[in-house]
Amino acid sequence: MTNLKNDVFLRALLRQPVDRTPVWMMRQAGRYLPEYRATRERAGSFLKLCMTPELACEVTLQPLARYPLDAAILFSDILTIPHALGLGLQFETGEGPRIERPVRSAADVAKLAVPDPATQLRYVIDAVSLIRRELAGRVPLIGFAGSPWTVGTYIVEGGSSREFARIKAMMFEEPQTLHRLLKLLADSTRVYLNAQIEAGAQAVMIFDTWGGVLTPALYREFSLQYMAQIVDGLTREREGRRVPVILFTKGGGAWLPEMAQTGCDALGVDWTTDLATARRAVNDQKALQGNLDPSVLYASPATIRENVGRVLESYGHGHGHVFNLGHGIHPAINPEHAGAMIAAVHELSPKYHR
């Protein structure tokens, strides 16, 4: 077992005492960093960057070299499972991901089988092992996957969507077909995350980016129940420590009490829900992660500091808060402004833990 030099992030997720609020950023290894852009150019394509463990490790570690962050997150993509399913994933410049062979019928679903992480997703598992080794206990490593519903939207739509017309048509007209697809994705995600944990991930996060486009009843049926199945099947202890699980539904503030019942350890909260409201909603029984609006980072360092203070004040005194953005950092953000946010968390948060 590697002794962690900084385990404040893991302790906060388990609502254990900490002397300050830990901080990391969703998409912290990303296009806002010039060093990331240089490595991405060297890789030749985004998919090659994801599929080359040495390069994935390099970009995972870049923000830690620049900032005093409390966690590293595996550099990968939520669409690695569709890639492993042989659906023809491509990333087109300026247009986002494309699925060459979308899944739109019961016959399409019947052709799919749970991918083996040791073979079809080996590049991710190798990246986790390499990153964990290179971190050498500096901070914990977060593994992640997309939620079945969110990954399913790309698989059925054939790429990004604004209206989700095809998957919603399937949901209403052929619900059993969609349920079969989501069950396969839940099984695949559970196996995939357990392989990441086995390789060295010390916490895992499930990103439900598009759960917020559903009605409450349909969210429960087509998104939440499948995330709950994944959580129920995850390895929760490794190397003598609990492996915390974070669930994040963007736009899901109204469903936090139900999300809390899945058995997860922490809930991600976007900027549309005050942390004070979220804390009451879960009866202070789950850790909360968030929730600065990423657009605040376009403002001056003084304004950033002020808004960091508001987020910390909204959560209030006590443990169980991981500071983060309410979603991923934008590509056009000045890296110095991200640094100003992190510095403000370090400066302002200790008083909430006394």
Give CA–CA dist 27/106, Å, rounded.
35
The answer to whether the annotation marks 29 as part of a ligand binding site is yes
Of the CA atoms within 13 Å of residue 335, those in its CB half-sphere come to: 16
The answer to whether the annotation marks 31 as part of a ligand binding site is yes
Q: Is there a contact between 56 and 79 (Cβ–Cβ < 8 Å)? A: no
The answer to whether the annotation marks 209 as part of a ligand binding site is yes
Q: Tally Cβ neighbours within 10 Å of residue 136.
A: 9
The answer to whether the annotation marks 27 as part of a ligand binding site is yes
Instruction: Report, as residue numbers or ranges, the catalytic residues.
Output: 27, 31, 40, 77, 154
Specify burial of residue 6 (Cβ count, 10 A radius: 0-12, 13-18, 19+): middle
Phi, psi (degrees; rounded to nearest 5) at 292 = -65, 130
Task: Name residue, tokens 């060093």.
Answer: 35
The answer to whether the annotation marks 238 as part of a ligand binding site is no
Q: Tally Cβ neighbours within 10 Å of residue 20.
A: 18
The answer to whether the annotation marks 346 as part of a ligand binding site is no
Give CA–CA dist 224/146, Å, rounded.
13
Residue 340, token pair as written in the block: 């100003």
Give CA–CA dist 119/111, Å, rounded.
19
The answer to whether the annotation marks 154 as part of a ligand binding site is yes
Binding site, residues? 27-31, 77, 154, 209, 327
Binding site for substrate, residues? 27-31, 77, 154, 209, 327
